[in-house]
Structure 1
Amino acid sequence: MFNTLLGCRLGTTFTQYRITLLVIYSVVLVCGSISLSLMMHILKSSAASATSITVFNLIFAHFIFLLTVPFRLYYYGTNEWNLGLNWCKMVSGMIHIHMYMSFLLYMIILITRLWPHYCRMRQMDSLGRMQALIGSVVMWVVVLVLIPCIIFSFYGNKDKDKTYNTTRCFDFAESMSSTKELNYILSTLVIVVAIVLTALQANVLYVLYNKDRQGCTSQQDFGAQLKSLCFTLIMLVCFVPYHIFRLYYIEHTYLQNINEVFLSLTTFNCLDMLTFLGRRTFHICLRGRGV
């Protein structure tokens, strides 16, 4: 009788997690698609620069991830996976690829904007448009060609004497035992870098504010740095909590359902394009309608 009650309790708990994940991913899919559409409309009228190329890469990363979200909704809605183990690995791995790619692109944007303030240079010569384009091509070749091969070959592999339940997906907690050190390093790195960049960004805004307290809001540089602060806050809100929990989860993999919820919260960074929206957005949209 105790086992029956325990089974019912666990089943109810898992159902609650499924509902939570369904809501989160549904919001991310709808709102993320809208924000990306608006941002693409804005970029059409923007001049090409290293920063805009980086933003476009960020949009493309969000777009690729959002393509996999319907498969997550399908699984959490039906509680059954019938699309094969390899596709399960791909969908499962894509959320991690998206998270770390977004983090890397945030770093590039933030460092590009912070560099002139801390190194007394107007621009970073190493991040010209041509270099940014070449870097983008190399990055996407690695992401779209090399990483899928790694996912299919190594990601989520269990011991040889254990078999997969092919009707279940995103159940790769046991495979973490062979990559504990890597997970510790990545989680610690994300937490430290996010905090440091936030502190540096806040300091720049503080300096700009003190220079011209009355007219700082009308300065283009202040506005750009304010948007950068939004990126750092996204890193703190979306990525840091997950990686703090992950440091504990690495040794306590029975908390996999909670880990999935924390992981799903990282996908709210798909809404980061909303930081670019403002009055200019509506002017561009209205102008586009007039044409």
Structure 2
Amino acid sequence: MQGMDRRQFLRVSAGLLGAGCCACAAPLADQPVAAGRAAPAEAKGGYGGPIIDCHSHAGGAHGYDEDALLRVMDQAGVSRVVTFGASPGRAAHERVIPIAYVGGGFGGADLRSRLKDGAFRGQKLSVRHFPFPMQPGGTHGSATDSTVRAAAALAAEARRPLTLHLDGPRTDDLAALCREFPDAPIIWAHAGTTPPRFGGGATPGQVRAMLDAHANLHIDMSARAVGWMGPIALPEWEDVFLAHPGRILFGVDVFQARFFPLVASAVTEWRELLGKLPAPVAAQIAHGNAKRLFLG
């Protein structure tokens, strides 16, 4: 491999994963890319396959319902949307994938039952969040708080993912939660990043270290587009994507109707970015990992 740097080696070595790897079980899907030669996800125009948004909201204070959100996603070419706050009855359609807000009005026994029978496909909890219009003061919790630990215990029992908004750069509490509940599928929303004016949050290096250390941890890359926190710089994140292709998820993060006009352009940005990755990796990030976690 003389004359080839580490990033080039990882890109070239992606080929033997094969396009079908996106449906593999978690331990196999998360294997770093193996030796071979990879083709780009699409020869021209970026990634052209299915996309699942694994991070958006509807209902209640958000001011729009699941049908309005679906219309926007249809226009953007998004096939399914993991929807925090959606009615549990929507799970049967599998276009809207309903996720329960922790503390959102469902008691412990009721939520446990609905997670186990698939009416809800996961839980969502905002633990540490920078100030934003719907929470002007932000939230200032820890992943070791009792509410979070109870949600993680339920995630482990039901084998349904728990999505946590947990701003970096602090990661010690998330690491402790992952260690305490190794059977809980945990998704770190936005990969712990924040807008630059709030410090930027977790760095790609921190995220890579967390994924290296905790096999039950996943990240969603939502809110990383123009109009949200801005697009990612692929050279900074490519090693993360290639090292852990089975634990990266695409997301948009619609939480107010004012974001509706921006969804199509965000999806286009990500199709172009995914087209620069090996085809099997792009397919996992775009839809394969979400199907396995939320619909498996």
- TM-score using structure 1 length: 0.31
Greater Rg by CA: 1
Q: Is the strand fraction higher in 1 or 2?
A: 2
Q: Is the helix fraction higher in 1 or 2?
A: 1
